[in-house]
Amino acid sequence: MTAGTAVAIHRAGDRGWLIDVEPGHIAALVREIRSREWFSLVRDLVPAAASILVLAHAIEDMAGLRAELERLLGGFDPTTAPGTAEGATVEVPVVYDGEDLGYVGAALGLEPAAIVAAHTGAVHRVGFFGFAPGFAYLDGSATKLSLPRRTSPRPRVAAGAVAIAGTQTVVYPGGTPGGWHIIGHTEELLWNIEWESPSRLAVGDRVVFREVPR
């Protein structure tokens, strides 16, 4: 890339190419790949914290896909590409009644109302997906809410739990262990394997948390 975004392309299994990408440019590159005519060769894109895994439909497509990726990376500038900076805006109504709300308040010296105000007032964006299907890491939680993860993760967290750690938020897709601090829950579905596209969120989307009564 002209802005120095991609460091290298690595082979990942028999049908994957792993691209090293600067974290701030992942959303732009994902959107650009999806816009290309040769995207029909791609079975799935898996963005992570500093990389994108590009999976081909078939082994026979790998050489052609590698060539197309190299051409894209050789001339694409994510800082100037039109239409790649902003994603959709998804509003998530939250009841702030999480089981860790009291602990978070005590650890940070904040009343529950201040925690809610800081969380709903922050600008959250989908940074990447990882850990489990539908597990979207949302960057942008207020620095005043920053806490390390729990020392003892829960063995299973219900779908819709809204939790924080560091300067990130996650809405648990359900059925996974979890070491983040649960501050609330939402009835809004963001992940459903029965949908044609299981996730309502995409890298670069803005997520707005809105407080609703119990």
pLDDT tens per residue, range 9-18: 999 999 999 9
Contact (Cβ atoms closer than 8 angstroms) between residue 104 and residue 112 = no
d(CA 204, CA 192): 20
pLDDT tens per residue, range 187-203: 999 998 888 888 899 88
Contact (Cβ atoms closer than 8 angstroms) between residue 87 and residue 206 = yes
Q: Check if CATH label 2.40.100.10 holds for domain 89-211.
A: yes
Dig out the tokens for 203 from the structure.
């890298």
- Would you list the domain boundaries of the chain? 6-75, 89-211
The predicted structure's pLDDT at residue 28? 83
The amino acid sitting at 210 is R
Asked whether the domain spanning 89-211 has the same topology as the one spanning 6-75, the reply is no
Span 6-75: which CATH code? 3.30.1360.40
Mean pLDDT of 35-45: 90
Res. 105 pLDDT band, cuts 50 70 90: very high
